[in-house]
Amino acid sequence: MSTVARWIEHVTLTTGHSRRSYLDEVSDEALALCRRLIEQLRSGDPAARVPILRTPYVLTGYARTGRCLTVTIAADEPVVLMAVGGHSKCGARVWREIHQYADEWELPYVTDRDRPPPEPWCAALLDSAAARQPAEGLMALGDFERCLAWAWLTSEH
């Protein structure tokens, strides 16, 4: 495993909200669960829908580029497009791609497509179904995003 970053910059593209997430905020159990979810996505059918335990959500749309990850969190339809920029070799490109997705689907964002945060980062773009989710569900997804990002960044690729 490579050197672990001190924090991840967690950015919500839709609102511009950003906060530093530290590894010690994530339990070993949450990391293990998220690593299993990532492995299920990696080893399955590209159209796989991997359930997130005890939630109405599934992971789908997995894409890996070097040390960067893109995944969709969905209920009946996409709720959040999430990306992790783990290294500068792929981070800027994945940052632009998530903004391009927003443009194609006419989803609002306030971040600058040409100015990603320094790696490592975790970005979340709320999709149109997010507006129909309960507030506590969206808050839990924010926590889940950070856990999944840390699981990705502390795993071997």
Distance CA 42, CA 12 (A): 25
What proportion of the chain, given as a percentage, has pLDDT over 70? 98
User: Tens digit of pLDDT for each residue in 59-109?
Assistant: 998 899 899 999 999 999 999 999 999 999 999 999 999 999 999 999 999
pLDDT for the residue numbered 1: 43
Query: Which among 113, 142, 146 has a CA at the least distance from the CA of 130?
Result: 142
Mean confidence (pLDDT) of the chain: 93
